[in-house]
Amino acid sequence: MRMLLDECLPKKLKQDLKSFEVKTVPEMGWAGKKNGELLGLVEKHFDIFITADQNLQYQQKLKDRDITIFVLKSPNSRYETLRLLIPNVIDNIDRELKKGVVEIKK
């Protein structure tokens, strides 16, 4: 299972997803790409995209995308707060992973 962490997320989250193949947007050389272009790249190379961009699903047509997008809903973007949501991400992956947007909140 290949995952990509959005550039708005702390790269430290990778350590909480050790059982998966995880890259960050900057590691891929895609920092600064517009959402539409980024999603096209993600779709070609990854199964899952994890972001905290809560507007993404309203700004982009995601219905026909062939990826799963986890949107982390959190009061802030600090690692200590976001890492508490990772078990919910893993639970969703362990169940039946569906294409589209999955909101993850505490």
**Average pLDDT value over all residues in the chain:** 90
CB 29 within 8 A of CB 10: no
CB 68 within 8 A of CB 98: yes
pLDDT at position 34 over 70: yes
Q: Note if the pTM is more than 0.85.
A: yes
CA distances from 29 to 5, 65, 76, 97 (A): 13, 21, 25, 27
Please tell me the predicted confidence (pLDDT) of residue 58. 65
| CATH class of the domain whose range is 2-104 | alpha beta
pLDDT at position 77 over 80: yes
pLDDT at position 65 over 70: yes
The pair of three-digit structure tokens given for residue 84, joined into one six-digit string: 């508490």
**Secondary structure element (H or E) that encloses residue 56, with its range:** helix 56-59
Please report, for the chain, the start and end positions of each structural domain, with discontinuous segments joined by +: 2-104
